[in-house]
Amino acid sequence: MLFNSPEYFLAFLPLVVVCYFLLNSMGQVQAGRLGLVFASLFFYGYWNPVYLILIVGSMLVNFGISMLIHRLKQRPGPLLLNARALLVLGLVLNLGLLGYYKYSDFFIENINLAFDMQIPTLNLLLPLAISFFTFQQIAYLVDCYKSDVYEYDFISYCLFVSFFPQLVAGPIVHHKEMMPQFSDRHNTSVDIDNIARGILIFCIGLFKKVVVADTFAIWANAGFDTREPLSTFDAWVTSLSYTFQLYYDFSGYTDMAIGAALLFNIRLPINFNSPYKALNIQDFWRRWHMTLSRWLRDYLYIPLGGNRCGTGRMYFNLMTTFVLGGLWHGAGWTFIVWGAMHGSALVVHRLWEKGGRKMAALPAWALTFLFANFTWVFFRADTMEAATRILKSMVGFSNQAFVGSVEPFVQVNQVLGNAQPAAGGLLSALNPAVVFIAVFGLIAFLSRNSMEIASERTRFSIVDAVRVSGSLLLTLLLGIASSSTVFLYFNF
């Protein structure tokens, strides 16, 4: 069930909200939580019911380990049964589960290539959201070991892991920033302000996905999927289309997640803060997928030593963090290269700052955005060869003319009809691809983001809620008219 599908926003989400607050109004708060857990598991199992066993089993094991860790922290046991050993066991089990499903075939293929072997691949289907709920539970176990959190109620723990607005692709949340909100009595009743604000944010996200991201996908897919050489102009349109597709797709999903959670009076952490406005690569990672950046910092970079072990070790820790962060996104060398490039850029940025150098805002922004655009090519390409082909065309090392063929890349009526064009030239300056890049690029660069728009009013009234609902209906028409396409981060 997709956030941008009519069955989600016309049936599932409204029904769950009504039932949740109806149970709360009857004084059945625990039943309301249990209902949310079952609704979340239904949402997850809607994709493939078989994987319900996986997520439920993962929650049972992690909850059991966390309880044992808590008890042993209070009263240490035998040498071989201590809290640290249990934490290590939990980490091994979680990473082992993730590694088995996500990386088995990758490692088998590379072993076969390196040693000329013929080990058969497992051809496992990647379970939905396994990367996200694994990281979330790893964070919980570490925090439990540090005595930062403890959850004694299994239903509440299941709700923390499986809460459907953020289950599939984040934001990655901490127990201590979400579960106290469910325990707050003021959050058990309907809040018109949160309803209106949530609908507004959801509408913005839905528009980003069905109108903007899915249109950019036409040109991005056409360029990346073709095996024919692209002209320089076509290659830039391809890369920029994916750069904006990814931003509007993933930030749109996050907006819908935050908006849906607000309907339940739950405030999820902000995950995007206009990353394409960043003036350096460090600023970019403080704005892009912020909860993942926070997780990598707190549970990988700092435990490796952070910047406490000397300059050389700090640079090694940065590189290791981002290479593993790239590998988290996907089992492929393109993701590893993408992570290594960002790690290298952060090292260069640290050296630049250490030297006391300064760069004016405009060239600093342009350099940061162009670097992100170039590296997204590796993120999107299926193979290193495909990435190299696109990049060579972008810098002019192709046999194609700069402008390309006379036929436009795609006609306006094809865009509106969601057609799948073949890669071709982009002669016209008024071509839809160019117009889309210009318009929505400027919006990403200059306008307020969805969180700023939603927070500009201190309080929403019932009248405001009705107006926002009207905007939702218009956005729903767009959503219904379009095909419900999968979000990009569902692949990671």
List residues with catalytic annotation: 329
d(CA 486, CA 492): 12
| CA–CA gap between residue 428 and residue 408 (Å, rounded) | 7
Question: Residues 6 or more apart from 12 whose CB is under 8 A from it?
Answer: 1, 39, 43
Which long-range CB contacts under 8 A does 414-419 form with residues at least 24 apart?
Answer: 414/218, 415/215, 415/218, 418/214, 418/218, 418/482, 418/483, 419/218
What are 266-271's contacts with CB under 8 Å, separation 24+? 266/163, 266/165, 266/178, 266/181, 266/182, 266/187, 267/181, 268/165, 268/166, 268/171, 268/173, 268/178, 269/171, 269/173, 269/177, 270/171, 270/451, 271/170, 271/171
| CB proximity list for 470: less than 8 A, separation 6 or greater | none
CA–CA gap between residue 333 and residue 379 (Å, rounded)? 10
Give Dmax over CA atoms of the chain in angstroms.
77
284 neighbors 275 (Cβ within 8 angstroms): yes
Could you give the 3-state DSSP secondary structure of residue 308?
coil
Quick one: CA dihedral 163, 166, 172, 174, positive or negative?
Answer: negative
The number of residues in the chain equals: 492
Closest of 208, 216, 302, 294 to residue 256, by C-alpha = 208
Say how far apart CA 236 and CA 431 lie, in whole Å.
Answer: 14
In degrees rounded to 5, what are phi and psi of residue 421? Answer: -80, 165
CA distance 136 to 55: 12
